Structure 1
């Protein structure tokens, strides 16, 4: 006795199912054939059809009732202007699947034989992604066309590849065999970045010298480091001549290391080396022996740790904290930093000899704002990744997608956190979207949120819009006063003496208010200065962002410390 019911879902075959006279019983029709197999008992048959095929649908319903009375036929209207338009067909079938009431006590089969090739591809994608809990059903006519056989044949296709151990082993082996390039995992339209990745790939497979990745926070240094390791390991596994077996990948963020903790984490310690050292500890350098050590944010490492690291690189040995016995190690070093180590060396914050040792292979990773042509592809990547994690299918309304991309590629979008900002933005959009569709209002809210996160004073934009709409030659003086008063109300009135405010030109008032907003959102004057003068810093012989900001504020009787209290 069967435990579950069986339900079949499929399109009405407007060509193969066609037939309006008695001769139709003498040939194979895929939908009707589903009721002709003794071993395939169909309890429910869900047929998708358009209004123009209503007559054919009724004939199929009557014919199914004759050959399989126990089968309940349920029709579903679909509206497709073009059955060959992939986006339209996928959206229609996705909405159908999302609204369908799948029952736990029913086994579902997706009939692939009917419908266009586009529909068949969309069905497959929805089943493979888990949106439709079904196996695939393929029907076909008798192999000998000279024999009339209305029944034909059928085949159930199970997409659960995990059940096939042989296939799984083969896939894993081929995955390792064909891992040849970093480009396979990095989608980019930026020519400079493509060349950079090509150069890194050559270095990663031909050299064991240190590699230094320099780039802003969120530019993808850590992700690239792990992919370089995977590439090197794949190459090493296939070559007995490779110096390092690279069986290990050890990663640490140096920004989290301070004082004795930094020494202990990196180089280990012996019992009693310092207060709290109750037992011996192996450091990360020893753990990385025979592999690759990635020190992210190496610019945050203290000078003492830098000296020990240099010794370990040059002599391939080091002393654990509190120990008189050295440890021999053999590893390749990869480092990442969001600092300009050249400037850090000039300022005495980073050892020149260590920088020289690291500087054999230095690569500068571009920020997201320098790779704007890659935004659409990365948006698609994030939608697919988040959809895979949550077993959902997220999509933008076309107008919402256009609005988001227009903002993302505009000057207002600073992408201070680079790809981390984009990832966070897509997480928010997909989480808050109703029915898994990101609409214009969702994007408008996200744009406002990003603007606030990046410290963009939205009232400046509204002021500019109001100014353009209300400006005329007779009201220019009133407009200037309105601009100053509006700016003062939002920012300047809180910090600037009113007597000084009344003497400030409109342009200077808007600029000063923006500078104050930036200062409020940074923890110190140097950080705010770096943000404000990022584009002109390299043009100065002796750049001092903090001093430039201090002098600017002094012109208006302001001090940084007073702004952030």
Structure 2
């Protein structure tokens, strides 16, 4: 049922609007308010799908109501009700974020059509937000340990903001999962997420990879090429293993963060970019700074929010959940029946020293599924999971 709030000081107009909407559909629940202040109080307490608001009212006029609602619950569409002398103001409210306006006395067809379109738009906005918040099944973060719960809570707070995030932790702990969650739960989820593994790119090519190059910039540059920052425009760039980036590239990344501009290698032309930066490293950057390998000013630009992902040894209570998750996923990938791990097998896995963290655990689970018995036992773990 769609909940509609009418804010109108003229009782006669309210009655007309209620009658029209009630007769149109039994799925409309119509609430009345006779002035703006009362309407705002209702909006704070209840959820509405649409607001019809008069422009000229005592205590608080429609423009003030519109501005307040846009701060409190910006997703609610607002249709302004204008008298003949209010048309200029009504048009101006569209610039302030009103969905539409209708004139007094309300035309039946125009009113109903506007209401239907506004409600459809609200539904689309809500669905779009829901999809943005939904994290891809390929990047689920499994675990209920205090450390993982804390990370999930941090992501919920940080993701909707534009704050830069530095993710730290040993190799194989799932730093890239945190980056994906941050992007997919952000307002940039509809834009690209571009990943760059700084450790996998030769130092002489990292600047070209990040910022692009122009034809002739170096021997193999036979055509212009856009870099990762340009590709991530409107979305997020994930600089994995940022601690391995050359000092020269660090200086350019710093400039990109300060000025929202990049220059392709071999060019002096600035290219504006709108990018959120998330970085990750397994290195102690403070130590790297002390040794002259990492710029302190870049560190402070990247580390607005710090998220540390613990090693698997520090969250052993999550191992049964992770084993169950990987068992299902691997069985689906191989098209085989799902195997069951005995309690003793799980206990044995919890005792291991997981130097390779989550990545190593997944490999061990896959090995046990392929080589172990239908019910994976402690003996299977001893035989096939030993290093």
Using structure 1 for the length normalisation, give the TM-score: 0.44
Q: Determine the structure 1 residue equivalent to 2:382.
A: 444
More strand by share: 2
Aligned to 1:371, the other structure's residue is in SS state helix
Looking at structure 2, the residues matched to 289 and 430 of structure 1 have their Cα atoms a distance apart, in angstroms, of 42
Do the aligned partners of 2:255 and 2:261 also contact (CA within 8 Å) in 1? yes
Aligned to 2:205, the other structure's residue is in SS state helix
Looking at structure 1, the residues matched to 287 and 303 of structure 2 have their Cα atoms a distance apart, in angstroms, of 14
Equivalent residues in 2 for 1:126-525, closer than 5 Å: 177=130, 180=133, 185-205=140-160, 207-232=161-186, 236=187, 246-396=190-340, 398=342, 401-402=343-344, 404-410=345-351, 413-434=352-373, 436-448=374-386, 450=387
Looking at structure 1, the residues matched to 246 and 332 of structure 2 have their Cα atoms a distance apart, in angstroms, of 41
Looking at structure 2, the residues matched to 421 and 213 of structure 1 have their Cα atoms a distance apart, in angstroms, of 20
Aligned to 1:251, the other structure's residue is in SS state strand
Aligned to 2:196, the other structure's residue is in SS state strand
Looking at structure 1, the residues matched to 189 and 307 of structure 2 have their Cα atoms a distance apart, in angstroms, of 24
Looking at structure 2, the residues matched to 262 and 186 of structure 1 have their Cα atoms a distance apart, in angstroms, of 30
Looking at structure 1, the residues matched to 377 and 239 of structure 2 have their Cα atoms a distance apart, in angstroms, of 41
Aligned to 1:216, the other structure's residue is in SS state coil
Q: Specify the structure having the higher radius of gyration (Cα).
A: 1
Change (3 A) 1:272 1:230: same
Do the aligned partners of 1:187 and 1:377 also contact (CA within 8 Å) in 2? yes
Do the aligned partners of 1:294 and 1:333 also contact (CA within 8 Å) in 2? yes
Do the aligned partners of 1:245 and 1:290 also contact (CA within 8 Å) in 2? no
Do the aligned partners of 2:158 and 2:182 also contact (CA within 8 Å) in 1? no
Using structure 2 for the length normalisation, give the TM-score: 0.63
Alpha-carbon shift at residue 397 of structure 1 (Å):
5.5
Do the aligned partners of 1:250 and 1:287 also contact (CA within 8 Å) in 2? yes
Looking at structure 2, the residues matched to 222 and 230 of structure 1 have their Cα atoms a distance apart, in angstroms, of 12
Give the count of matched residue pairs: 261
Change (3 A) 1:183 1:273: closer
Change (3 A) 1:210 1:315: same
Looking at structure 2, the residues matched to 397 and 315 of structure 1 have their Cα atoms a distance apart, in angstroms, of 54
The structure with higher relative contact order (CA 8 Å, sep 6+) is 2
Looking at structure 2, the residues matched to 318 and 176 of structure 1 have their Cα atoms a distance apart, in angstroms, of 31
Deviating beyond 6 angstroms after TM superposition, the runs of 4 or more aligned structure 1 residues are 173-176, 181-184
Change (3 A) 1:245 1:195: closer
Alpha-carbon shift at residue 372 of structure 1 (Å):
0.7
RMSD between aligned residues: 2.4
Change (3 A) 1:317 1:397: closer
